[in-house]
Amino acid sequence: MTTAITPFPLDVDSFLARAEERGAPLDARAAEAVLGLLVLGGARCRTGLPEPTEELAEELLHLLLPLYVSAAAEELPGFVTALASLADHTHEAGRLNAKRHAKLVARVHELAEGFGQAMTSPDRLTWPRLYGNLVRAAGVDDNDPQAVRDWLETFAALPYAERNAALGFVASSSANEPLSAAAYAQALCAERSNQARLLLTARLEAVTTTGAPAGAQEDWYDEQAGLLADRWTAAGLDALLRGPFAHLAPGGGDAPGRALLALVEAMAFQHVEMYGEELAPMPPAPLPASPQEQATLLRAAPLPQLLARAAADPQGADDRTRELALASGFLVRREPGGTPSAGPSAEAWRDGGPAELTGLGLNLFGALLAQLAEEDETAEQFDGEHLLTLYGLSERAGAAQSVARLAALNDMWFIPPGHESDPAPSVPATGAYELPAPQALSAVLGLPSLTESDRTDLIPGAARLARLMDRLEVLGVTQHLRRCPHPHPTRHLLAARRPPPGHRRRSRRCLPHS
């Protein structure tokens, strides 16, 4: 009976039989993965099997296998052997001369060390590979979809901390490791999984010319990608992790993780713009004294409390809250268009320790900024505007700062260098924001003789900034003291050490309002 790799017409059984005839039997699962992924890499198939090259061998061993295949460390030599055997087959079929054959086999063995490192590195895992590894390590029959589902149900019932430990996403005990490192690693795993799926589907479309039904190509390619993913991890796993067990593999689509990664990327970009590529961290912020105090502050913030209530009663939440809950993982849809239910962030909120809560806070911060950037009343005038504003606020963390002054800088008013003034006491602490009268505004900004017309010009920008601060206050990012945005410690989860002595800060020419 011929074993074919759907959707590729590859005769795997004949390849395995020829290897056995040569006295070098191959691991069937490893051989299937090598053949299928080489086809996806664009290998020629003039002999009925893919023809490896040095370039394809490197991509296979260092990129594709570490993206898609679950395997224990002791199984890894089988993949290298299968690839070398395929090189032998190609040579015997007359498609590879002796010199190139020898070079290819030598190159395959050179790549073996890096392959082993890639396959065992936690930094290269995807959700399907990770769960496939756990299924196989538990002794579950990875070809039995019901057995795989039963294992997932058992795993889902484990305590939150025990699951995190099994997955490898645990807080570091090192004082030099950021408290949010485990959450960041999980977000990277999720994004890596998303990108791997997109690449798999795109390569299927590129190499498959028949089989896709007219008018339903997208669904067909997605289905075939799922079948291949299951073949290389565990049967039925793809649909389970994208459906009823999506909460065990957060980060798909617009779910949690992406907001955290987007936030970190934007912060890194802004830091380089402000300080250059040297390691010049932001000035120290009034950080909590301990991780436990940080967790207490996060639990006291109104916004995650609101989203936790939305997770408990999705239908009782308003549209804006439900949208933010979905973006931050307090809610998930276990099938496209399905009814939202409690997601991984709700569980982290309920059962997580300081590290999990810190990651949740950062992810929620990123999701909130993304939502504010799109809403009419707080829409950004250019990409990254809100983060830029907060970055500037962070340089004076813990000190009262004037909304009027920030709005004037944003509107490109020239504020005299070195001018310092307390915010105007006349601004009401509650209700709609109001700029101070012209005389008080002149004192705050260091600009004498401002008129009512000048004040009127500044109102739209100041009102928009005040609305931004109002929305951020519910996460504890800012505090209002007479409408003075005052960055709260929650904001500084990404803050680091003071710049080294003698460090000269870059010009702020990159700021649109300078």
Instruction: For residue range 317-344, list pLDDT tens digits in order.
Output: 999 999 999 988 899 887 777 889 998 9
The pLDDT, as a whole number, for residue 492 is 28
Question: Which of 165, 233, 172 has its CA nearest to residue 355?
Answer: 172
For 267, 282, 399, 410, 487, the CA distances from 505, given in Å and listed in that order, are 17, 10, 20, 20, 21
Give the chain's length. Answer: 514
What residues does 479 pair with on adjacent strands? 486
Nearest-10 crossing angle of helices 319-328, 354-374: 130
The pLDDT, as a whole number, for residue 60 is 98
Q: Where are the alpha helices (DSSP H) in 121-216?
A: 127-137, 145-156, 160-167, 181-207
Distance CA 31, CA 10 (A): 11
The pLDDT, as a whole number, for residue 406 is 86
The pLDDT, as a whole number, for residue 433 is 81
Distance CA 34, CA 421 (A): 68
Question: Which of 495, 493, 500, 514 has its CA nearest to residue 278?
Answer: 500
Q: What's the one-letter identity of residue 433?
A: Y
* pLDDT tens series, the chain, 514 aa: 345 555 677 888 999 999 999 899 999 999 999 999 999 999 999 888 999 999 999 999 999 999 999 999 999 999 999 999 999 999 999 999 999 999 999 999 999 999 999 999 998 999 999 999 999 999 999 999 999 999 999 999 999 989 999 999 887 766 667 788 888 888 889 999 999 999 999 999 988 866 677 777 888 888 899 999 999 999 999 999 988 998 898 875 445 456 667 777 776 776 666 666 665 555 555 667 788 888 898 898 899 999 999 999 999 999 999 999 998 889 988 777 788 999 899 999 999 999 899 888 888 888 898 899 999 989 988 888 888 888 777 766 666 778 888 889 888 898 887 777 666 655 656 667 888 899 999 998 999 999 999 999 999 999 998 888 888 888 777 765 544 554 443 322 332 222 333 333 332 222 222 2
Distance CA 242, CA 237 (A): 8
What residues does 5 pair with on adjacent strands? 8
The pLDDT, as a whole number, for residue 475 is 77
Distance CA 254, CA 202 (A): 20
The pLDDT, as a whole number, for residue 61 is 98
The pLDDT, as a whole number, for residue 81 is 97
Give the up-direction half-sphere exposure of residue 7: CA atoms within 13 A in the CB hemisphere: 19
Question: Which of 335, 332, 323 has its CA nearest to residue 367?
Answer: 323
The pLDDT, as a whole number, for residue 490 is 31
pTM for the full predicted model: 0.81
The pLDDT, as a whole number, for residue 486 is 46
Distance CA 299, CA 303 (A): 9
Asked if the peptide bond before residue 423 counts as cis, ω within 30 degrees of 0, the response is no
Q: What is the largest CA-CA distance in the chain?
A: 96
Joined together, the tokens standing for residue 319 give 């549209």
Distance CA 183, CA 362 (A): 9
Q: What's the one-letter identity of residue 316?
A: G
8 Å CB contact between 73 and 120: yes
Residue 501 Cα to chain centre, angstroms: 35
Q: Let me know if 214 is exposed, middle or buried by CB neighbors in 10 A (0-12, 13-18, 19+).
A: exposed
Distance CA 315, CA 61 (A): 48
Residue 400 Cα to chain centre, angstroms: 33
8 Å CB contact between 469 and 423: no
b/e code 154-166 from CB counts within 10 Å (16+ = b): ebeeeeeeebbee
